A and B are shown apart, each in its own frame.
With several copies, the nearest count.
Chain A
Amino acid sequence: MEFNLNEETVLLKNSAERYLREKCPSSLARELIEDRVGFSKSIWKETAELGWLGLIYDQKYGGFEGAFFDLFILFEEMGKVLLPSPFLCSAVLSGLVINEAGDDSLKNEYLPSIIQGEKILTTALLDEQGGYDAQTPGVEARKTQTGSYVLNGTKLLVPYAHVADEIILCANVKDEKQGGPTLFKIDGNAEGLEKAALDTTGSEKLSALILKDVAASAESIIGSVGQGDVYLSKVMPKATVLKCGEMLGGLQRVVEMTVEYMKERHQFGRPLGTLQAVQHFCADMATYLETARLIAYQAAYLLSEGLPCAKEISMAKAWCGDAYNKTTRIGHQLHGGIGFTEEHDLHLFYTHAMVSALDFGSSWSHRSKVADELGI
């Protein structure tokens, strides 16, 4: 057991922290909430140039063959500033799906442009009820006589769909010979595809996708028919752990800003931080941070090393989601009225916590997976 970061990772972490602190002050994050596009194109370009988008991909696609753990560290840093970015949906989810399921020509066609940030893809995961179940993905693909497909159904809460060049989604192919959950790649402006921007509590731009007789060629299938759930199940663990990193970064900032405020803010003639109730709340926050850090780092490490870690990932996601939520709650309680104002940063983290805890499976569903792993 060694709990320190490797030297190169420390260098990467520090430089990422510096870069993001400079480029993404909270004022930018707020601006982007109001912005239609919802992310900074210049930062997006720079993250590509810094090699972040391609960090874990093969060199032949322009990647850097870096460790997954380092990517996790980047997400932790992005979480600290709540950088709005299609990084996760494009360069992680969509890129990895293609990397996992695509053939060489598909990879050669897409990965370099994803890695360079030239193309933005997104992957639609949730059905109309907000559920994720690749077996019943909420979109149906009817095979036509010509061998192409017609897609109908709804996908919900799809990040950055409004700017995505192409959209990956899982649809259920109805075919007697070979059917089942299948990954399709459709154009962001496909005919019959309605993209409804959703007004949500969080800061990320999310859309509903309503597919009405959207035509998809057989070539638009990624990988094999009926294997969509298998491909996704290989990619989801990574996205889940990166979300843990993002939550961890946010959690850390909430603890920092709250403890700082408790040192400064005076009430009853002395700093609030001298009150025992405040001190105990802060100790609880510190405990959530430390525990979330350890359990998330463990999952990221094991996944990065290619070691078995299904249970560890679910433990991390369940715990980090709860810990982040509880910490932002305490943060609000200690900040009082000021934290409830739009101009304070705290609420950005509060809603981020709430939404992130539900992304890629709720705490309950991950506890259920832990139970599965325990054989109960």
Chain B
Amino acid sequence: MRFVFTDEQNKFRQEIRDFLKSELDAGTFSVDVSGLVGGPDQEFSRKMAEKGWIGITWPKKYGGQGRTYVEKMILIEECLRVKAPIGYHFSADRQVGPALMAFGSDWQKDFFLPKIIKAEDGMQFCLLFSEPNAGSDLAAVTTKAVKEGDYYIINGQKVWTSAGHVADFGWMLARTNTDSSVRGHLACSEFMIDMKSPGITVRPIINIAGAHSFNEVFFDDVKIHKKYLVGEENGGFKQIMAQMDYERAGIERLMQNYPLFEQLKNHVKEMDKDKDGGYFYAWVRDQVAQLEIEYNIGRLLCYNTAWVVDQGQKPSSQAALTKAYCTQYEQRLNDVATKIMGPVSQIKQGAPWAAFDGDLAACNLWGPSYTLQGGSVEVLKNIIALRGLGLPRK
């Protein structure tokens, strides 16, 4: 047991901080609270790659450093503190790489992993899981992949595809067994698909923050070579459940709006303590202390999950619990900050009166998505109850 970081880890953290500070000072990017991580910036990702900070947990044979998930979390935590623009490689690093290492063919590993880890061209991924009628219930996907010779022919529709309009490759779940009497759990496969393939149409979805972060993706007789099938045919659902754990195990679900918290604490230090007879400040103080507790607990949960992964265990219930807790914290932060800042919280970036330079307004608008992305809180609670506590399904 050790509830502190090692000297080496602290040194690593400092190294990252120094890098990010110099990038921030140089104006390479600016802090942005919209979106899960900072936006895609291949140039920035290349710099990270040069430092060896992509695929940091991957084995050396794929160009990785074989470091721990705890160390990876230190890296991501520091990136999120300033919302560094790691969007270009984030999905590939978090999910695609580990999935390929677990289930991919030799060709797939040799072709993709070195490219991902160097942030090369064409290596931004999007995830093609959800469909209009398969949201929380992924087993209900109906997009079909029908085998014809060496190829699969894809037809169907995906939705809520983040970065679908800029991604080079999609990581897709599609139904390969068309016998409708077979449950979806045993009928789906995973594919990688070149987003420039003929027959793919990407349509933007504008979200309530006015941003184009999602897309609908339509597949009309899209042809992909069988070498892009990942793992076993009809084994995709099981694979995806394992990958989801990694998706949920990150600290990005705690820190999506982290800059808000720092700004809020600074604001409270400066605020007029005597307003409203001092009563308001007393209330604010209590609220912020509670947020501080909740944030610190969320951070422990995240590092604990990373540590569980480092022990070679599947973090499934642990990751679900962590994500459910953390995203609720993010919403609470948003709510409390709004109550403390009052009417100016509605002013968007640009006007001098905007709370936290418009960051609060942005968080207000992104807020509803916090507890939905990557599995709603309710779906996660089901996982905790069924997989973690062993409660009966029927």
Interface residues of A (CB under 8 A from B): 1-6, 9, 69, 126, 128-131, 156-157, 196, 198-202, 208, 259, 262-263, 266-271, 273-274, 276-280, 282-284, 286-287, 290-291, 294-295, 297-298, 301-302, 305, 307, 312, 315, 318-319, 325, 329, 332-333, 336-337, 339-344, 347, 350-351, 354-355, 358-359, 362-365, 367-368, 370-371, 374-376
Cβ of B19 under 8 Å from chain A: no
Contact residues in A for B307 (Cβ distance below 8 Å): 1-3
Cα A287 to Cα B390 with chains together (Å):
15
Cβ of B222 under 8 Å from chain A: no
Contact residues in A for B303 (Cβ distance below 8 Å): 1, 3
Some 26 contacts from A to B, beta carbons below 8 A apart, are A1-B303, A1-B306, A129-B342, A130-B341, A157-B347, A199-B349, A200-B348, A259-B391, A274-B394, A279-B391, A284-B381, A287-B325, A294-B300, A318-B293, A319-B293, A336-B136, A337-B160, A340-B368, A351-B365, A358-B343, A364-B339, A370-B292, A370-B293, A371-B285, A374-B265, A376-B285
Q: Is A208 a contact partner of B269 (Cβ separation < 8 A)? A: no
Chain A residue with Cβ nearest B290: A367
Cβ of B193 under 8 Å from chain A: no
Stretch at the interface among B43-51, B164-172, B203-211, B225-233: B203-211
State whether A199 and B4 are in contact (beta carbons under 8 Å apart), knowing that A283-B381, A287-B321, A333-B372 are contacts in the complex. no
Stretch at the interface among B78-86, B96-104, B141-149, B276-284: B276-284
Cβ of B240 under 8 Å from chain A: no
Cα A374 to Cα B381 with chains together (Å):
32
Q: Is B206 a contact partner of A343 (Cβ separation < 8 A)? A: yes
Chain A residue with Cβ nearest B391: A273
Interface residues of B (CB under 8 A from A): 1-5, 9, 70, 130, 133, 135-137, 140, 159-160, 205-208, 210, 214, 265, 268-269, 275-276, 279-280, 283-286, 288-290, 292-293, 296-297, 300-301, 303-304, 306-308, 311, 318, 321, 324-325, 331, 335, 338-339, 341-351, 353, 361, 364-365, 368-369, 371-372, 376-378, 380-382, 384-386, 388-394
Q: Is B365 a contact partner of A297 (Cβ separation < 8 A)? A: no
Contact residues in B for A286 (Cβ distance below 8 Å): 321, 384-385, 388-389
State whether A376 and B382 are in contact (beta carbons under 8 Å apart), knowing that A294-B304, A358-B346, A370-B293 are contacts in the complex. no
Contact residues in A for B325 (Cβ distance below 8 Å): 287, 291
State whether A6 and B364 are in contact (beta carbons under 8 Å apart), knowing that A267-B137, A336-B376 are contacts in the complex. no
Q: Is A363 a contact partner of B344 (Cβ separation < 8 A)? A: no
Interface of B is mostly: helix
Q: Is B394 a contact partner of A1 (Cβ separation < 8 A)? A: no
Q: Which of B136, B283, B346, B353 has the most CB of A within 10 A?
A: B346
A316 CB to closest chain B CB, in angstroms? 9
Q: Is B269 a contact partner of A337 (Cβ separation < 8 A)? A: no
Other A-B pairs, 12, CB within 8 Å; known A286-B384, A291-B297, A376-B269: A4-B311, A129-B353, A130-B344, A157-B347, A196-B351, A269-B140, A279-B382, A284-B381, A286-B389, A336-B376, A351-B346, A358-B343
A48 CB to closest chain B CB, in angstroms? 27
**Per a CB cutoff under 8 Å, which of A3, A126, A129 touches B304?**
A3
Cα A221 to Cα B136 with chains together (Å):
61
Chain A residue with Cβ nearest B386: A279
Q: Is A376 a contact partner of B265 (Cβ separation < 8 A)? A: yes
Contact residues in A for B9 (Cβ distance below 8 Å): 1
Contact residues in B for A363 (Cβ distance below 8 Å): 339
The 9 A-B residue pairs with the shortest CB-CB distance, nearest first, are: A279-B385, A130-B343, A347-B208, A332-B368, A283-B381, A283-B384, A130-B344, A342-B206, A273-B391
